[in-house]
A and B are shown apart, each in its own frame.
Chain A
Amino acid sequence: MRLVAATLALLVTAASAQADLRKEWVEYSHGATKLKSYLAYDDKTAGKRPAVFLVHRRNGMDENTLKSAEFYAQLGYAVFAVDMFGYGDGVLPKTVPEMTAQIVKYYKDRPLMKARAQAGLDAMLKNPMIDASRVALIGYCFGGTVGIEMAYAGAPLAATITIHGTFRDHNAEDAKNIKGKALILHGAEDQVSPLAEVNKIIEALRKAKVGFQYELYSGADHGFSTPQNAAEERANVQSIASSTRYLKELFAR
């Protein structure tokens, strides 16, 4: 609810006229797994446009994921919220143990994680409205690990943006494969992905001379995009504003 309020506040301040949002499901498969990703875009924008490849949290393709996709679509980008777990097969974890079971599967099997994300990227790039040279990944929590894995594998991403990302067991040496930039937006009191974990990523990015910006917000725990207190409300608003500005700078629109 609060995320929606913050999102709406930003939308109201946006100077552009209200655009009509198109929302559709994109079905495809990866091996035997049926996938169902969510595509949102503004039908007033003509021709090819930059895209946001959005990677969900441990909750999968829930309401929050769709809302986030719609928010970035309002900015004029085609947004593809990728199904990592198999929503096409009905996978939508409801409880924390169910969520944990899902993410652990991918944390443990990095080739699967990357191939699953790549299947989504391939499906997205088939859409003719998308400018393949201008794709930014935005990952929340679990999506942060997916984002870093993809970037470290040399995926053609103009930028990788993590919002309270987890950064699990990456090989720092692989940072040299990064093609684009990085924006790391993090809570200083993140208990799931503490500062020591973030600092490893920052060090790897520095060493590989990757362009990046890192922002740390006081009092915010993991998952501040569904804020639980005033500090997290602020972190959420700041992170949305910062990712918005970053995309504008990156895509010059």
Chain B
Amino acid sequence: MSIRRILPAILAVAFMLFAGSAQAEVKKGWIDYTHGTKKLKGYVVYDDAKNGKRPAILMVHAREGMTPKTLALTEMWAKLGYVAFAADIFGYGEGVLPKSVEEMSAQTTIFRKDRPLTRARTQAGWDTLVQHPLVDAGRIALIGYCFGGDVGVEFGSTGAPLALNVAIHGSFEKKYHEGWAKNVKGRFLILHGAEDQGYPLTTVQTVIDELRAAKVAFQYEVYSGAGHGFSSPKGQDNERANTQSIASTARNLREVFGD
């Protein structure tokens, strides 16, 4: 599907990274874990040519779940030299992989309605990630796409020790629980399309307002002409937004990780 569309951006980042360095060995694999009785299956990627503990990315998928696009994005972030782990929110370990928009909505609705579940399910992914021997638990960033951006806000509100919390065309709620930003650790990076119809700028503004009120560090970027889901770009504006959002995330990761 959309891998072909994001491939140029992936290659660009890969090129930036590996220019001048030796060919790296990228390890990819699945990690089975559980949350209560729910079987989960996350995807982990890292560069084996590098030694020692390193910063990590907790990636949270869009409403599609653990699709090839999610895996390709995980690989893209791993190429920056981090351990990248795509957490399974829906239960891919039990075979949950929504195919139609209806099936996707059915999944996201479960988590939109049950916020304690959203937080706990994400926490299970976090707990799995920090057990990885190559992960420096003091340097972890969350990157969420669409639904994953909403999960990022919810998980960030628990006070999880995230260095950076990135929402790429995040599917934000119109209102989160009062004072949700008060416990937030680390910086938010919110990258959004100006023409996102499902999650318009007025909705993002409510998130920004809470971050401001709680004095949380953030950077917010808005890209003209870009709609929801610009990370699977259709048209020039989305292409540009996609490229910019990858570059901005990479820069912010380097800044917070110092690496």
Interface set of A (CB-CB < 8 Å, partner B):
188-189, 195, 199, 202, 205-206, 209-219, 231, 238, 241, 245
Contacts and interface: CB of A to CB of B under 8 A. Distances in A.
Interface string B223-255: 111000000000001000000100100010000
Interface in B181-214: 187, 194-195, 201, 205, 208, 211-212
Given A202-B194, A202-B201, A209-B225, A215 B220 contact: yes
A218 B211 contact: yes
Contacts of A189: 212
30 contacts: A188-B208, A188-B212, A188-B218, A188-B220, A189-B212, A199-B201, A202-B201, A202-B222, A206-B194, A206-B195, A209-B224, A211-B225, A211-B237, A212-B224, A213-B221, A213-B224, A213-B244, A214-B221, A215-B219, A215-B221, A216-B219, A216-B220, A218-B187, A218-B211, A218-B212, A218-B217, A218-B218, A218-B219, A231-B217, A241-B251
A24 B208 CA distance: 44
B215 interface: yes
A218 B223 contact: no
A211 B215 CA distance: 30
B72 interface: no
A212 B244 CA distance: 12
Nearest to A237: B255
Nearest to B225: A211
Nearest to B241: A213
Contacts of B195: 206
B216 interface: yes
A210 B225 CA distance: 8
Interface string B130-156: 000000000000000000000000000
A209 B205 CA distance: 21
Contacts of B244: 213
Nearest to B243: A249
Contacts of B201: 199, 202
Nearest to B211: A218
